[in-house]
Chain A
Amino acid sequence: MAVSYKPVLWNRQKKKYDQILWMGIALILGCFAIFEFLLHPTITIETLIIRATAFTAIILLHIILMIGPLCRLDKRFLPLLYNRRHLGVSMFLIALVHAAFCIIQFHALGDTNPIASVFLSNPNYQEISQYPFQTLGFFALIILMLMAVSSHDFWLNNLSPKMWKQLHMSVYIAYALLILHIALGTLQYEKDLFYTILLWSGFLTISGLHLVAGWKTRSQLRAEQNALKQEGYFEVALLEEISEKRAKAVFVDGQNIAIFKYDGKVSAVSNICKHQMGPLGEGKIVDGCITCPWHGYQYYPGNGQSPPPFKEKLATYRVKIIKDKIWINPSPFPEGTAVEPAIINHG
């Protein structure tokens, strides 16, 4: 099922989300400017921009990283997840302003190319407290840029979902780089304990939420597995063991079953062909039908029936997918009974 790329249209919800997001950003930037001018009136405008954008971007990054686990803890947070990519892109743009101002202010108009200067000016790579922390910010920015660019649904459809997911998991690498960027940069200048506490609070909040959400997901999974066992299901295969339009044959509770994977679905039927007992599990799905490897008899995977005008029917079985595992209930349905296929969801 190759669904072509369909842009999601703007709707009221999405506009509202962006309005609130940018009002929030304006709130942080505005407060930052007002408080700086009140408390540190001799600040330069460049330093104000550098610090206000850095602060805003890192706050947004924390919020972004909290949304995932919050949604796993309570589904009512889902509206925050739906448009998270706008959060991400906004965060990247603000971080970009920070980085650009830093590079211009500290590295431009000198005797070396500004980008090269980020890496070369301070050569103390072997010393923690003197470490050129800007380089860590630089790599974080590259990661955030790749994510921002690839966040469009267009890429989700053109990179495989798996690759896309992997790319977007690198946000955790960016986060780690940025913690070090701050710890080895600003925290080496601003010595007040407050900043160390602030940085740790952010880190502990994020890792704590991930741990709790992970724990909840695991215990839910365990509960689901136990429930399935009660209902007579058996765990029989890993999803990835079966290639597309192919099957795996299993013996469960005296039943010989072929499990087919096709079009993002999994169905299970008797492994024994009605013609001469050929092994259907070694067959393949052709034109939407399980096709026997021996003489080519065909059956629909969803109900075990041969396409008309043929009359052969196979027993069918219930299938469940939990995470990456396939579970089978080996008590057969009468031959030709339709059974909902289990849906594979990438996530």
Chain B
Amino acid sequence: MDKQDHFYIGWQETMPAPHRRFLRPFLFGLVLLLPILVFTTVWFQKDFNDHRFELGTLTEVTGTYYESPVPLLLADEGELPNTLSKSILLVGFGKFGAEGIMKDIQETEGSLVGKKVRLSGTLIYGAGHTVMELTQKEASLVQVYEDAALKTPALATNGAYQGKGEILDPKCYFGVMKPGEGKTHKSCAIRCLSGGIPAVFKPDNTGDYYILLDAQGKKLNEQLLPYIGYLVDMNGSVSNYFDWKVMVVDSRALSLNVSRKGERCGGDG
């Protein structure tokens, strides 16, 4: 047999037959193996929640605007499908809270607190809660109604909570990202809370969600950043802000509350 026949040169027009015969089974093997590999990889993934982010769809909602402790639009009857909570937590575009946008709007419109307004934005919903992104920033205000302003109801403590769970950013968790929690989402949650999206606490054994506030009833964000991604012991007094639960926690005691550092949040699974 002539040895030259078997010498492979890449710049030749065609591959020598022995090489082709040898390589073909490997190629077919790969074509079979790869889909199986992909299938098992996808199969063993944790399932995602069914929360929704209506990306690309703007919805206009009429309701009463409240600002304290966090910006919220209480939708009028019939404005949202019955399956959705009417207490719409407002968040900004990108990784920001709604305060900046609402402040700019109210600089021209005057205070909207307690007033009936029509806002346009992108709906985010799941787990019994509704969030709206003010996608068009200042242009999100569609209309201000002339009705007299209602008073913001005071937060009345109606219980205490103690337990462990994860600190979440509600914008991602309630629908923008899958998964919107856990280690792979940790950086994003830090970015979102740092940008002013209110922190939400999710106990690991109940289906409740708590907006976290400091003793002054203000958003508790900066102080929480070091605890994102950990399983955290949380305790505080609980009250209702329409459909949302809020929890006032003592931020000075918080550093003591991290249980079993390193124990991780794994999300729903």
Which A residues have a C-beta under 8 Å from some C-beta of B? 8-9, 11-14, 16, 20, 24, 27-28, 31-32, 35-36, 39-40, 42-44, 46-47, 55, 59, 74-80, 82-83, 105-112, 117-118, 121-124, 127, 129-130, 132-134, 185-186, 188-192, 194-195, 198
Q: How far is the CA of A54 from the CA of B213 in the complex (A)?
A: 38
Q: Which chain B residue lies CB-closest to A10?
A: B11
Is B184 positioned at the interface, with any CB of A under 8 Å from its CB?
yes
User: Closest Cβ of chain A: how far from B11's Cβ, in Å?
Assistant: 6
Contact between chains at B14 and A12 (CB < 8 Å): yes
Q: Contact check: which of B6, B42, B230 meets A35 at CB < 8 Å?
A: B42
Is B182 positioned at the interface, with any CB of A under 8 Å from its CB?
yes
Binds A, one of B31-39, B79-87, B204-212: B31-39
Q: How far is the CA of A108 from the CA of B51 in the complex (A)?
A: 22
Contacts of A16 in B (CB 8 A): 15
In the complex, which residues 162-188 of chain B have their Cβ closer than 8 Å to any Cβ of chain A? 176-179, 182-188
Contacts of A14 in B (CB 8 A): 10
Q: How far is the CA of A109 from the CA of B197 in the complex (A)?
A: 13
Q: Contact check: which of B42, B185, B186, B226 meets A36 at CB < 8 Å?
A: B42
Contact between chains at A13 and B178 (CB < 8 Å): no
Q: Contact check: which of A75, A122, A124, A190 meets B45 at CB < 8 Å?
A: A190
Contact between chains at B19 and A76 (CB < 8 Å): yes
Q: How far is the CA of A201 from the CA of B97 in the complex (A)?
A: 44
Contact between chains at B266 and A122 (CB < 8 Å): no
Provide the B62-88 mask, 1 if CB < 8 A to any CB of A, else 0: 000000000000000000000000000
Contacts of A127 in B (CB 8 A): 261-262
User: Closest Cβ of chain A: how far from B132's Cβ, in Å?
Assistant: 17
Q: How far is the CA of A60 from the CA of B158 in the complex (A)?
A: 57
Contact between chains at A195 and B44 (CB < 8 Å): yes
Contact between chains at B41 and A106 (CB < 8 Å): no
Known: A13-B13, A20-B27, A79-B23. Contact between A110 and B44, CB under 8 A? no
Give the interface SS of chain A, mostly helix, strand, loop or mixed: helix
Contact between chains at B230 and A130 (CB < 8 Å): yes
Q: Which chain A residue lies CB-closest to B30?
A: A24
Q: Contact check: which of A11, A12, A42, A118 meets B178 at CB < 8 Å?
A: A42
Contact between chains at A59 and B34 (CB < 8 Å): yes
Q: Could you list some 20 contacts between A and B, CB below 8 A? A: A13-B15, A24-B31, A31-B35, A35-B39, A35-B42, A39-B43, A42-B178, A44-B53, A47-B48, A59-B34, A79-B8, A79-B15, A106-B187, A110-B194, A117-B187, A121-B188, A122-B186, A122-B187, A130-B186, A189-B183
Contacts of B27 in A (CB 8 A): 20
Q: How far is the CA of A47 from the CA of B6 in the complex (A)?
A: 47
Known: A191-B269, A195-B44. Contact between A110 and B192, CB under 8 A? yes
In the complex, which residues 223-259 of chain B have their Cβ closer than 8 Å to any Cβ of chain A? 226, 229-230
Tally the A-B contacts, defined by beta carbons under 8 Å. Answer: 170
Question: How many positions in chain B have a CB within 8 Å of any CB in the partner chain?
Answer: 62
Q: How far is the CA of A107 from the CA of B185 in the complex (A)?
A: 10
Q: Which chain A residue lies CB-closest to B197?
A: A110
Contact between chains at A110 and B191 (CB < 8 Å): yes
Q: Which chain A residue lies CB-closest to B261?
A: A127
Q: How far is the CA of A31 from the CA of B23 in the complex (A)?
A: 23
Contact between chains at A28 and B34 (CB < 8 Å): yes
Contact between chains at A194 and B40 (CB < 8 Å): yes
Contact between chains at A186 and B95 (CB < 8 Å): no
Contact between chains at B95 and A188 (CB < 8 Å): no
Q: How far is the CA of A79 from the CA of B17 in the complex (A)?
A: 12
Q: Contact check: which of B41, B188, B267 meets A198 at CB < 8 Å?
A: B41
Q: Contact check: which of A82, A106, A185 meets B191 at CB < 8 Å?
A: A106
Q: How far is the CA of A46 from the CA of B35 in the complex (A)?
A: 21
Contacts of A132 in B (CB 8 A): 187
Contact between chains at A110 and B43 (CB < 8 Å): no
Contact between chains at B13 and A11 (CB < 8 Å): yes
Q: How far is the CA of A32 from the CA of B42 in the complex (A)?
A: 7
Contact between chains at B23 and A105 (CB < 8 Å): no
User: Closest Cβ of chain B: how far from A132's Cβ, in Å?
Assistant: 7
Contacts of B6 in A (CB 8 A): 75
Q: How far is the CA of A24 from the CA of B185 in the complex (A)?
A: 30
Q: How far is the CA of A127 from the CA of B262 in the complex (A)?
A: 8
Q: Which chain B residue lies CB-closest to A118?
A: B187
Contact between chains at B37 and A59 (CB < 8 Å): yes
